[in-house]
Amino acid sequence: MAKIKICLDAGHYSKYNQSPVVPEYYESDMAWKLHLKLKKYLEEYGIEVITTRTKQKKDMKLTARGKAAKGCDLFMSIHSNAATKESVDYPVAFVPIDGSADALGEQLAKCIEQTMGTKQSGRSMSRKSEKGNWDYYSVINGAISVGVPGIILEHSFHTNIKAAKWLLVDSNLDKIARAEAEVIARYFKTIKEPVKIELPELILGSEGEAVKTLQLLLIGKGYSCGSTGADGKFGNNTSNALKSYQKDNKLVVDACCGLKSWASLLGIKII
Ligand SMILES: [Zn+2]
């Protein structure tokens, strides 16, 4: 599978959008910190990450930021929202009207809701321009114009005291960056699930895939399992092959393939 590539955008530059209820909070500061943490955690999942701005102070046009995602699998702009009412407290993922990021947007909004413990539930929504059949948000338009699904991710509202205070804490940003990276990695299937193998005890009369594996290992080491080869049936020929192998390798000669015989055949140590 080709490497997944994501473009992250810190929503605003310099000192921008001060919280009216928690004066230490600036949306631009939070977005800058969070997008760098997110970059780090996404990279740990083997995802390639580029960012729109090289410095927090750098201003960039909205459409240009979206277009910077050319060649990526996703564009994501990091924000916190503002409302006139202090009580408003929920995450939103603004997704393109073409539906290309609906599922991921929904999952990210729910992830923020759970991590931040917002009062109202997370949601994804899209907004069509009043002027035509395109997205209202220019960053999303920019990304869509280069064929990339774009998401504006609002980390609830900095007009809410609890949310703004939460977002000011560095360890909280770390927590949310980890959680979002995991959602994205699962969505793009870059999380490697551990491989499980079963090594059941096999005796004369056993049948199935594990017997076939045993036979292949014995045959591969020069112990013939008879004319039927690796047929998945533990008969007399397999039993004799196993006994010869056990004898040659100083194992208990019992014609039973247990943990010690498996470990020896596979060349692994039992811990
Ligand atoms: Zn914003």
User: Cα(133) to centroid of ligand 1, in Å?
Assistant: 23
User: Cα(16) to centroid of ligand 1, in Å?
Assistant: 9
User: Cα(243) to centroid of ligand 1, in Å?
Assistant: 71
- DSSP track, 112-178: HHHHHT-SS--EEE--B-SSSSSBSSHHHHHHHHTT--EEEEEEEETTSHHHHHHHH-HHHHHHHHH
The CATH class given to the 5-187 domain equals: alpha beta
Domains 5-187 and 209-266 share a fold: no
Would you list the domain boundaries of the chain? 5-187, 209-266
**Strand order across the beta sheet in which 48-51 lies:** 48-51, 5-10, 74-81, 150-157, 92-94, 123-125
Residue 6's pLDDT is: 98
Residue 268's pLDDT is: 87
Contact between 94 and 154 under an 8 Å Cβ cutoff? The reply is yes
Q: Does 243 score more than 80 pLDDT?
A: yes
**Alpha-carbon distances, residue 140 vs 92, 200, 212 (angstroms):** 14, 53, 54
CA angle (23, 28, 30) in 5-degree steps: 80
Question: Which is nearest to 154 in space by CA: 58, 1, 15, 17?
Answer: 17
pLDDT digits (tens, 9 = 90+) for 155-185: 999 999 999 999 999 999 999 999 999 999 9
User: Cα(150) to centroid of ligand 1, in Å?
Assistant: 15
Which CATH number is correct for 209-266, 2.40.30, 1.10.575, 3.40.50, 1.10.101?
Answer: 1.10.101
Three-class secondary structure of residue 27 per DSSP: helix
The pLDDT-based confidence of 1 (bands split at 50, 70, 90) is low
The pTM (predicted TM-score) of the whole model is 0.73
